[in-house]
Structure 1
Amino acid sequence: MSGVSQSLQRKSPTKRTGGKQIRLRLQNIDFWSAMKLAAVVGFVLAVIQIVVTIIMWLLLEILGVFAKVDELLQDLLASSQFTLMDFVSLPSVILFSVIVGLLNFVVITILGALAALIYNRSVPLTGGLLMGFTNQ
């Protein structure tokens, strides 16, 4: 070791815990468990997405953003019949958000299962993850 690393090692406080440290290697991730966990995460994210979309739409409606955009578009298009609410009404926004949430749920579930499969296939090459645990 170099002089710098030796002096840093001497200066660093050594804390000894009373527990025993165990090192374990993760060799396999259960495919179905990974898929179920990914499905739960995907479902929770889809629900969060739908709720946030509804809250944002209501907030924009309360603040009058849609009315201001309607006025701007009516001036630009010189058409008094055009309204933004024909395209972004609350039911259509909720429907779009539900469709995107369902697609995200499917994609997240598939990606979680695929990640477990890729990890399980790469363990013979990489040796897996080495984790340390301490008993306290």
Structure 2
Amino acid sequence: MSTAGQTSRSALGQGGSTTGQGAASTAGPGATTATRPGAQPGATASRPVGGGAPSVRQRRVKLTVSRVDPWSAMKMSFLISVALGIAGVVMVAVLWMILSGMGVFSEINRLVGTIFSDSQNPFDIMDFLGFGRVLSLSIVIGVIDVILLTALSTLGAFLYNVCSSLVGGIQLTLTDD
């Protein structure tokens, strides 16, 4: 069904996968397997290409995260917090426009006007919740968010490194599917 360096369409249609590198070899009656990219010639993958049962158990690797680079943590947290800040400002602007379009602010003005009925000093909610004022406040909160999240994640990377040197870090187990 397969020759060196290529796999037939019927084998790929049955859920198998090949990397396009290495040679295919037979592992049993009618089942073909593809070699891994860095494997020795004659070594077979853990999942047969022909759709049969796995011939080799999954490979498991235990890794330890022993150190987090504070500079890379700071760069990533800065970019993520800037994106969150921009999304927050856009969200506030869209929410304000939706509420204004639905007439919520004019209803609040009418309701407060009937309750207080002060003709000399009429109440206008737009003095407090105008679009410019709300957008300016959300931008200020976004900038504070960027500064705090960047500082906290950098501090967190330093603290992780100190704790990791004491206890050895976080251990991860990765499996090869």
TM superposition score normalised by structure 2? 0.64
Corresponding residue for residue 69 of structure 2: 30
Matching of residues 1-136 of structure 1 within 5 Å: 18-80=57-119, 81-136=122-177
Q: CA 1:117–1:78 in structure 2 vs 1: closer, same or farther (change >3 Å)? A: same
Q: Where in structure 1 are there 5+ consecutive unaligned residues?
A: 1-14
Instruction: Give the total of aligned pairs.
Output: 122
What one-letter code is carried by the residue in structure 2 that aligns with 1:129?
Answer: I
Structure 2 distance, partners of 1:66, 1:16, is 68
Once the two structures are superposed, residues 41-86 of structure 1 have per-residue CA deviations (whole angstroms, 9 ceiling, x without a partner) of: 1101101100110011001001110011001111222224221011
Report the alpha carbon displacement of residue 133 of structure 1 after superposing the two structures with TM.
Answer: 1.8
Corresponding residue for residue 25 of structure 2: none
Structure 2 distance, partners of 1:23, 1:16, is 22
Percent identity (aligned): 27
Q: CA 1:119–1:98 in structure 2 vs 1: closer, same or farther (change >3 Å)? A: same
Q: CA 1:17–1:37 in structure 2 vs 1: closer, same or farther (change >3 Å)? A: farther
Runs of at least 4 residues of structure 1 off by over 4 A? 15-19
Structure 1 distance, partners of 2:171, 2:67, is 12
Q: CA 1:16–1:127 in structure 2 vs 1: closer, same or farther (change >3 Å)? A: farther
Q: Greater share of helix residues, 1 or 2?
A: 1
Q: Where in structure 2 are there 5+ consecutive unaligned residues?
A: 1-53
Structure 1 distance, partners of 2:103, 2:65, is 54
Query: The residue matched to 1:25 in structure 2 has which SS?
Result: strand
Structure 2 distance, partners of 1:59, 1:47, is 18
Corresponding residue for residue 7 of structure 1: none
After the TM superposition, which of the residue ranges 67-76 and 77-86 deviates more from structure 2? 77-86
Q: CA RMSD in A?
A: 1.7
